Each structure stands twice: as C-alpha cells, then as structure tokens.
Chain A
Amino acid sequence: MGTLTDIRTIARWEVKKSLTMMRRDMLPLAIVLFVLLVAVTGFSARSGLHLQDGMYRIGVDDPQVAQLLEGDARFTVYQLDPPTLSANRDAFDIVVSGGIVYPGTSERAGAAEIALERDYAKYVNSVYDNETDLFAAYPLWIDTQSVKSELDFLSTQGGQYVSAAPNRGPPVPQGEVKEIPTPSPTLAVSEDTLRSQLVQSNAKNTQISRYMDVLSTTSSTMGNFETPSQLSPPLPFDSIILVFVFIFPLYFTSQFFMMSIMGERIERKGEILLSTPVKASSIIIGKMLPYFMGMLAICTGLTLYLKAPLLIILPLIPVIVFFLANALLIGMLSRSFKELSFISIFFSTVATSYLFFPSIFANVHVISLISPLTLIVLTMQGTAWTLTDYLYSTSLFWLTAAFLFYIAAKNFKEERLFSEKNLVTRMREFLSEILPQKHPFISLFLLAGCSIPFVFMIQMMCLVLFFNLPMPYSLIGLLLLAALIEEIAKGVGIYTIFVRNPSFLSGRNLVFACGATALGFLVGEKLLLFVTLAQISDSVFGSILFLSLGSLWLPLLLHFVGVLIVALCLKKWGKAGFAPGLAIAMVVHCLYNLYFILGWIR
C-alpha cells in the first residue's frame, strides 16, 4: 500500500516537473514550429522534393520529345538540331534523334535510359487513356489473387528456396487439393470505372503511394484488375513503414525519460529524492510511469488514427518497456550530454536493426518472429498469431528489460549516481553491485543465468545478419561470433569480482567460481530453450548457437573450460589477461562446436 502511494507521488512530481519545463517559453515556439511544419509539408507536397534534379543530361531534336520530358526534373533537356547533337555526342547521357534513342555507355547513361523508358511508358499510357475503345488500347487485364504459404525453418537450411524443382514433370502437391472455382472471363467492373482508375493511377506517384498504401488497411473497393504496366510487384519490406510510424515516436519519448534521469544526477539534484524514505525501485517506477503511459497513449493514438486493430498494442508493450529500461540505464551511466547523445544514437541504431531486419522476412520465415514488429505486420494483414508466437517474439524483451531494471534499482543510490568515473569502470561497478561480497558463487550462478537472454538477443541479431551471406561464410562468421559472445558473457562476472578483489581468485575459489558460472549458464540456456526457441534450435544454425539439447555434461564441461581459461589468464596477467583469455576460450569453443556438432574435424 505504502509503495503504491510512493509511486503515485513520484509520478505526480515527474509530470509536474516536465510540465513546468514545457511551459517555460517553449510552448509558443513549439506551436509556431508545428504550424510551420504543416505549411512546409503542404509546400513540399506541391513543389515536390528536389533531391535528384538534373542528374541526367539529354539531347533531343524533336520539341515533342522535349515536351514529353518536361515533367521529369531529373533530366536537363537540351533541344538542338541533329548535326550539333551528333557533334557533341559525349556531352549527353542520351541522344534522341529522329525518333531513335541512343544511350551512352556510362553507368549514368544506363540509369538515365531506365528513367526515360518509364517516362515514355507513362506518356504512352496517358495517350491511350483517352481512347474511345478502351479494350483496344488496353486489351489485357490481370486479376491478382494472393495465396498464403508458410515456409518452415528447416527447409531453407541449404540456403535454397523450395521451388527449385529439378524434376521434369509438373509438381504434385502433397497436401489436400482444394477445388478452385474457374475464374470468370469477364471483368465485373464497368468501362468508365476502369478508365477513371487508369487516369488516377497514372497521375499518382507510385514511389510514395506504394508506402502510403501499406498503412491503409482498407483495400480499394474496385477489385484487383490491373493492366500489365500497372502491375507493381508486392512490396516485400512493408515493415520499414511500421518502424517509422511506431518505433521512432517511442524512441523520441524515451529520450525525455533518459534526460529526466540524467537531470537528477546533474549537480546532485537528485539528493533530496534519495534522502526521502522511498525505496529506489519505487522512485524508478514512479519516474517511469508517466513516460510509459505517454508512450502507450501515442501508440494507441497512432493505431486509432490508422484504423488498425488495437491488438497491435500488445506486442508494442514489451518494446516500450525494453526502451525504457535501456533509457534508464543510459541516463544513469553517461557522464555528459555528449555521451548521452552518442550512446542513445548507438542504442537506437542497434535496437532498430534488431526490430527491423527480422520482420523483413514476415510470412517467409519463422525467424522473422523474433521481432515483435512481425506480429504487427501480421495483425495489419489480418493473419492471426498465437500466444506461443507472442511469447516467442517478446520473451527476450521482457526478460532483458526485467534484468536491466534490477541492475538499475540496485544501483540507484548516491555513490553510483554521482560518480564521475569513465563508462567502462561505471559499467563494471554497476555489475559489481549485483554481485554481493557475501555470496559470490550464488551470485555468479545467477548472473550467468540472467545473461542468457542478452546472449540470445545478440546471437539472434548475428543470425539474421549472417543469414544473408552465402552458406560457408555465414556458418564461419556465426561460429566465431557466437563463441566470442558466450565467452564474454561468462567471463564478465569473474572479471568484475577479480577487479574488485584480486586476492579472491585463490585456487579453490577459482574452480568454484568457474563451476558456478558454467552451471548458471547451462541452466539458463536450457530453460529458455525449452520455453521459446525450440524451432530455431533444431536447425544447423541453432545447433551452433545453443548447443544440442541431448547430453548435458559435455556442454557443462565446455562452459567450465571456457571460463577457467579466462579466469586463469586473469590470475596470471591481471586485467590485461582478459582479452587474450577470451580469445583462447573462443578458439576452444569453436573447436568444440566443429568437432561435436558439425563433425568437420575427423
């Protein structure tokens, strides 16, 4: 009860503080800027964006051709007589003479030719649009029907798509064959409607409208009849729009939270707050609550504005919590505004790529589900997802956020908040705080277990990255990086204890500490694997990342040897031994993987 009141009080303070700051001659300027923004948006919609103006030079002899290119600012058009044109052939990317197009040989000329081709096709269509006999000008119409299909992870192991059918005869479906009604040979739409649709689609800029269409959940009432030239391929990367629409506002708001935490640390302003008999966790939750509500409100508002199902809020919540947890730690760690800026830019780039890259493969690949954005993509399409899918894609976010909050709560006190040491030292001190002196082995065990979600997250990112490389390289890259990441995660606890107290690593303690870390790592790994990631862990990639589920003592031995190497190096050379220790441990880890999993050395 008392905690709840505390949280409410702190939250109210936080709101009041940020509101007073807002009021300070910021509001009028903000309003002016907003009005300007609307005006400028209107202006740029009318005049267009002039980024690619004058990229190409074209020489023509026919005023009609020059007129055709008038609307395309990418071309600088020179209208000259044929002899002058042929004399200055090299000055142009393309020369159009006597109705024949002569492109140059450079790379730029090739690009110019494509642009010209498209402009010409557009012009041809605009002429045909006025044709009285519409079906003479546009004799062919395509009705596109999409078919759903899920690809399972195992089938892409070889890096090949399934449809590579080597056999001679037509493929035979294995599953049940559903009766498809024969499509009617006529269009269900009147000629006038088709004509107006043609004129409309010719006028609009497909480059932009394609992205805008992603956001509108209502499809056109017309049906999908298109002429071949209207046929634009389905956009494979819808999700980038979602990143812009949903993730950037969240990132922006978490900046305010970051700044509020940092603000408490400037000139020890937060001392008053800390001297109150309120628990650190209550202060953190109280300060965070308004931002959490704000972000939730933004997401809900956006969802309502887009008329999308409110279900998409669910996968966004763990993302919000994850962002806030990171903002809290960044605000607590950085010493200056510059550091704050750079770390937060760095974090947002990494987080955005983690969220974005997997969701590119939505509908194609199970791996895409590691990003909550994929669930949003699925919801927008109207595809249902299960509770398991939800757990699968968000569990890592929940777990890492919880662990980060725990670290932050433990360190939310005077000597940590107001220290001026450098970033690495401070990170070590933060870790040191959650490793109590009294129970070193239990805490090492727990730390190793808790590091698992982070390790998985980073490894997942590597998996997505390397997925794009051809087969042998992707395996080698993944092999090295996965081993290194695991060894770092395991070594960091012992390193922290060693720096705090070098005499701790006596022979007996060393063995126990390594044992505790190895065991903790193994337990954490197995637990998380069983809960969520069984699908990925069955593939070749998975076996490198997470070891096999079969025997238990071999991986335990591996983890133990890895940490032992790092610890011994620390003992022998002090802090300087950490990096070489990691390198040796990584090599050992890789050899193990090669031998037992892939069986390459034999």
Chain B
Amino acid sequence: MKSRNLSIIAKKEFQGLFNERTILLAVLLQLFIALFSSFLMVGLTSMYDPSSLSQYSHFRYSVGYAGNDSEMLSYLQDSRDFRVFKMNLSTAVAALGERKLAAVIYVPDTAPDAQGPVKITLYTLENDLQSAIVDVKLKDIFLQYETYLRQVRTVRITEQPLPLQLPPSNSGDDFYEFVYGLLIPLLVFMPAIISSALIIDMITEEYQHDTLETLISTPVTFTEMIWGKVLACEILVPVQAGAWLILLMINGIAIDNAPLILLQVVVSSLILILLGALTALHYRERTAAQFIFSTALVVVILFALSLPANPMNQLTRLAVGTAGPEQWAVLAATIAIIVVLAYATQRYAERISRKSHSG
C-alpha cells in the first residue's frame, strides 16, 4: 500500500466535497444549530429537568389562597416569590382561568396534629411553561410545610433516617449536568456518525456510477482506494468536532482537555467508519447499505452506552476534568476493536479486488 496513492484518493474525495459545496451545507447546519443555542440551552435544559426553569424567573407570582388559615399561609406571605391573596375559591379559580393568578391553593380544616393527613388542593394551569415555574417554586413551600407537620407528629415516627446536614443554599444548577453530561458528548460525537454515513456514500457511488473500472485501471489498487476514502472521512471528524468545541467555548462553556477529547473521538469514530465501509462493500448499493448501517448504528451505540466507562462517558469525564488513567485502557480497547475491523476490511477489499481481476 503506497501512502502517496492514499493521499491522492483522499484529496480527490475532498475536492468532490468542496466542488459540490456539501461541506458548506454542513458548516451552515452547524451554524444554524449554534444560532439557536441560547434557545436550545433553555429549552433543552428544561426538557432535561423542568425545575431548572425557575432560575430564569425572578418574578413575584400572584397566588390565590382559599380555605382555612394555616402555617402554609405564613410561609407563602414570607416568601419572596409570591404575593398571596385570601379569596373565595370559586372567584380565585375563575381568575386563574383568566391568567390573573398563577395558582390557587385550598387548605382544609385539618389540625396539624390530627390522625389523618392534611390534604391541600392545588389548582394550576394545564401544560404551560409559566405554571411549570410556579409549581417548582410552590414545591419548596409545600416541602417547608411538610417538614413542619412532620415535626409536630414526630413522636409517632418510629425510625428516623440518618441525619445529613446540607448547606442552606446551593450555587449549582442542572444546566451543568445537562451541558457536560449530555450535550457535549452528543455534539462532539455527531461528526463521527456523519462521517460514517459519508463513507457509505463514497463507496457505493463508485459502484453505482460504474466509475470503479476507471479507478482500478490507474496505478491505485482497490484496497488503497478504500483506505483513501476512510482517511478522507477520518480527517473530517476532528475538524468538525473541533469546530463544535470552539463554538461551545465561544458560548462560554469551559471545556477541559480539548485535545484528549478530540483524540478519543477520532479513535472511536474509526470503528463506525470501518463498519460503514464494510456495509458499503457488502451491499454496493446505497439504500440497502444505509438502512442496514443505521440500524446497526443504533445497536452499537446503545450497547456501548450500556457498558460502564464507554468512550462517550470518557468524553464527559474529560470535559469536566474527572477522567482518570482508565481513559487509556478504554482507548486501548477501542484500538483493539479497530485492528480487528481494519483487518476484516483489508481482507474483504482484497477478496473483492481479486475477484474483479479474475472475473
């Protein structure tokens, strides 16, 4: 195998990509998604955990309070998030329907030390962004009231849990776990998936456009051609993944160990690219190859994610800076799989080229 021939093929593929301006589309797509990022962040974080929404609002919500006076009322009055109005239940619910209130609470006439439970009825707006925020803030008040009631009834409780004294206020938010534990591995790994779909296109194209004969009549061998294409796809991965990392950093997300992240992505993406190449060599037709490959992709990725310390987990740990020496073991295991796949690809390509020479 000559390295010069490999680079010729890789260069040819890149030229093709540039001529078609498909690269431009890919970059455009990346920018398009990045443009949304502020929206995406708020939207996706709250999808990940709706309670994170509350931090975006420092608004005093009006709440209707109906029924009997209780500790609950004083908690609400002391809270900086709410403005409480004592109202008739029917009027309050009607006002809620017109969005003049954010929620209505009804508290019954049950003594704090009664045998039975205290049942509070909470009226909120259905499936609504704002009421999600209100619910989160109300939950804190409810928890406060629950703690009070538990204290009143404490003699009746037989087994107390292990006490743990948590600091009164915390500075963190769910945003962190979402960005580092989901968004970064997802975005950084996306180029690997794109590249593996690309190799299928590149190989099946040669078959379906009957350009293979012309290529093989040149000094470039069939196996060299395949490896050249793999090389071209492989080079795209760090470029795109790097672009994501830079875009994220511009958005103010500090990422540790960027070079090591790129190394992990580059190595593990080779597994997908080689799988794509094998599928394409086997089917030689795009629809079938893409279909089988995308199904296989789901299986492979789901399986990898179910394993502890998988490469994508390593990306998360590298990004937050808690990766240990086990990252090298993961890298070694990945390389071992690649060696097997590379051997298979080489043998398969050789067999095909022998057949086409003799046949």
A and B interact: yes
What residues make up the interface of A, taking CB atoms closer than 8 Å to B? 21-22, 24, 26, 29-30, 33-34, 36-37, 40-41, 43-44, 47-57, 64-65, 68, 73-74, 76, 96, 99-103, 107-117, 120, 123-124, 127-128, 130-133, 135-149, 151, 161-165, 169-180, 182-187, 207, 225, 227-229, 231-238, 240, 255-256, 259-260, 263, 266-267, 335-343, 345-346, 349-350, 353, 357, 360-364, 381, 422-423, 465, 468
Docked-complex contact B287 and A267, CB < 8 angstroms: no
Are A120 and B119 CB-contacts (below 8 A) given A29-B292, A339-B20?
Answer: no
A336 near B93 with CB under 8 A, answer no
Confirm or deny: B143 has a beta carbon within 8 angstroms of a beta carbon on chain A.
yes
Smallest Cβ distance from B13 to chain A, in angstroms? Answer: 9
Q: Is the CB of A147 within 8 A of B172?
A: no
When distances are taken between beta carbons in the complex, the residues of chain B under 8 Å from A116 are: 166
**B120 touching A141 by the CB < 8 A rule?**
yes
Given A29-B292, A49-B306 in contact, is the A183-B145 Cβ separation under 8 Å?
no
Q: Among residues 49 to 86 in chain B, which have CB atoms less than 8 Å away from a CB atom of chain A?
A: 49-51, 53, 59, 61-62, 64, 67, 83, 85-86
Of the candidate stretches B110-118, B263-271, B347-355, the one touching chain A is: B110-118
Contact of A123 among B21, B119, B122, B161 (CB under 8 A): B161
Bound complex: CA of A123 vs CA of B174, how far in Å? 20
- How far, in angstroms, from A116 to B165 measured CA to CA in the complex? 12
Q: Which of A44, A184, A337, A423 contacts B303 (CB 8 A)?
A: A44
Shortest beta-carbon distance, B38 to chain A, in Å? Answer: 7
Report if A140-B305 is in contact (Cβ < 8 Å); known contacts: A99-B165, A114-B170, A176-B94: no
Partner of A140 from the list B51, B118, B285 (CB cut-off 8 Å) is B118
**Which residues on A sit within 8 Å (CB–CB) of B106?**
182-183
| Closest chain B residue, CB of each to CB of A269 | B208
Question: Could you tell me the distance between the alpha carbons of A110 and B210 in the complex, rounded to whole angstroms?
Answer: 59
Q: Quick one: closest A residue to B181, CB to CB?
A: A52
Tell me whether A340 and B91 are in contact in the complex, defined as CB-CB below 8 angstroms, given that A101-B167, A115-B177 are known contacts: no
Instruction: For B329, list chain A residues within 8 Å (CB).
Output: none
Contacts of A266 in B (CB 8 A): 208-209
B: residues with CB less than 8 A from A are 16-17, 19-22, 25-26, 28-29, 32-33, 36, 38-39, 42-43, 46-51, 53, 59, 61-62, 64, 67, 83, 85-87, 89-102, 106, 108-110, 112, 115-133, 135-136, 139, 142-143, 145-146, 149-150, 152-154, 156-167, 170-174, 176-177, 180-182, 185, 194, 197-198, 200-202, 204-205, 208-210, 283, 285-288, 290-292, 295-296, 298-299, 302-303, 305-310, 312-313, 316-317, 320-322, 324
Partner of B150, one of A132, A139, A182: A139
Please pick, from A22, A163, A260, A362, the residue contacting B62 in the complex, using a CB distance under 8 A.
Answer: A163
CB-CB under 8 A from B51, the residues of chain A are 232-233
Whether A144 pairs with B124 at a CB distance below 8 angstroms is yes
Given contacts A136-B153, A228-B142, A465-B39, whether A131 and B20 have CB atoms under 8 Å apart is no
- Taken together as a complex, chains A and B put the C-alpha atoms of A169 and B83 apart, in Å, by 10
Chain A positions within 8 Å of B170 at CB level: 103, 110, 113-114, 117
| Pairs of residues from A and B, 5 with the lowest C-beta to C-beta distance, nearest first | A110-B172, A185-B108, A228-B142, A170-B85, A136-B156
Residues of B within 8 A of A112 (CB): 172
Is B317's CB under 8 angstroms from A228's CB? no
Which of A100, A123, A234, A422 is within 8 Å of B20, CB to CB?
A422
From residue A273, how far is it (CB to closest CB) to chain B in Å? Answer: 17
What's the minimum C-beta distance from B175 to chain A, rounded to whole angstroms?
Answer: 8
Determine if A55 and B205 form an interchain contact, defined as CB atoms under 8 angstroms apart: no
Contacts of B177 in A (CB 8 A): 52, 55, 74, 111, 114-115
**Is A163 touching B295 in the complex (CB atoms < 8 A)?**
no
The answer to whether A65 touches B291, judged by C-beta atoms less than 8 angstroms apart, is no
The answer to whether B90 and A234 touch across the interface, beta carbons within 8 angstroms, is no
A146-B126, A234-B124 given; A37·B119 CB < 8 A: no
From A172, A187, A338, give the contact of B202 (CB < 8 A).
A338
Q: What residues of chain A lie closer than 8 Å to B36, measured between beta carbons? A: 353, 465
B100:A173 contact, CB within 8 angstroms:
yes
CB proximity of A192 to chain B, nearest CB, Å: 14
Pairs across A and B, CB under 8 Å, 20 listed: A37-B298, A44-B303, A65-B162, A110-B170, A111-B177, A113-B171, A114-B172, A120-B164, A127-B159, A135-B153, A136-B154, A138-B146, A147-B123, A148-B97, A163-B101, A187-B119, A231-B139, A233-B131, A237-B47, A468-B42
State the Cβ distance, A342 to closest chain B Cβ, in Å.
4
Task: Tell me which of B158, B201, B321 contacts A132 (CB under 8 A).
Answer: B158
List A contacts of B64 (CB < 8 A): 170
Contact of A165 among B62, B129, B299 (CB under 8 A): B62
Q: Tell me whether chain B's interface is mostly helix, strand or loop, or mixed.
A: helix
How long is the Cα–Cα vector from A343 to B197 in the complex, in angstroms?
Answer: 13
The reply to whether B159 and A130 form a contact with Cβ atoms under 8 Å apart is: yes
* Residue with the greatest number of chain B CB neighbours at <10 A, chosen from A135, A161, A170, A175: A170
User: By the criterion CB–CB under 8 Å, are A180 and B90 in contact?
Assistant: yes
* Distance between A123 CB and nearest chain B CB, rounded to angstroms: 7
Contact residue among B49, B157, B305, B312 (Cβ-Cβ distance under 8 Å from A44): B305
With A100-B165, A108-B176, A147-B97 known to touch, is A55 a contact of B25 (CB < 8 Å)? no
Of all chain A residues, the one with the shortest Cβ separation from B139 is A231
| Closest CB in chain A relative to B199 CB, distance in Å | 10
**A21-B288, A256-B287, A338-B202 known; A51 and B313 CB under 8 Å?**
yes
Chain B residue with the shortest CB-CB distance to A108: B320
Please determine whether A175 and B285 come into contact, CB atoms closer than 8 angstroms: no
Question: Are A338 and B210 closer than 8 Å at their CB atoms?
Answer: no
Give chain B residues whose Cβ lies under 8 Å from the Cβ of A148.
97, 125-126
Residues of A within 8 A of B154 (CB): 136
CB distance from B168 to the nearest CB of A (A): 11
Q: Is the CB of B150 within 8 A of A137?
A: yes
Please report the C-alpha to C-alpha distance between residue A124 and residue B115 in the assembled complex, in whole angstroms. Answer: 22
Evaluate whether A149 and B97 lie within 8 angstroms (CB atoms) in the complex, with A55-B320, A57-B322, A113-B167 already known: yes
- Distance in angstroms from A448 CB to nearest chain B CB is 26
Cβ contacts under 8 Å, B156 to chain A = 133, 136
Residue from A127, A141, A341, A422 within 8 A of B119 (CB atoms): A141
A422 touches B124 (CB 8 A): no
**Chain A: CB-nearest residue to B21:** A423
For B176, what are the chain A residues with a Cβ–Cβ distance below 8 Å? 107-108, 110-111
A103 surroundings in chain B (CB, below 8 A): 167, 170-171
Chain B contacts of A339 at CB under 8 A?
A: 20, 22
B277 to chain A, nearest CB (A): 14
11 additional contacts, CB 8 Å, given A55-B177, A140-B149, A234-B127? Answer: A53-B313, A111-B173, A113-B170, A115-B177, A116-B166, A135-B117, A140-B120, A140-B145, A163-B101, A233-B50, A363-B128
Closest chain A residue to B119, Cβ basis = A141
Query: How far, in Å, is A124 (CB) from chain B's closest CB?
Result: 5
Q: Does B90 contact A179, Cβ atoms closer than 8 Å?
A: yes
CB-based contact B185/A51 at 8 Å: yes
> Hey, which chain B residues are within 8 Å of A171, CB to CB?
62, 85, 95, 100-101
Nearest chain B residue, comparing its CB with the CB of A134: B117
Docked complex Cα distance between A440 and B200 (Å): 44
| B164 and A161 contacting across the interface, CB-CB below 8 Å | no
CB of B276, distance to nearest CB on chain A (Å): 12
Least CB distance from A351 to B in Å reads: 12
A260–B48 CA distance with the chains assembled, in angstroms = 38
Q: Is A142 a contact partner of B181 (Cβ separation < 8 A)?
A: no
How many angstroms from the CA of A218 to the CA of B132 in the assembled complex? Answer: 22
User: Which residue of A107, A124, A138, A238 contacts B117 across the interface (Cβ within 8 Å)?
Assistant: A138
User: Distance (Å) between the CB of B20 and the closest chain A CB?
Assistant: 5
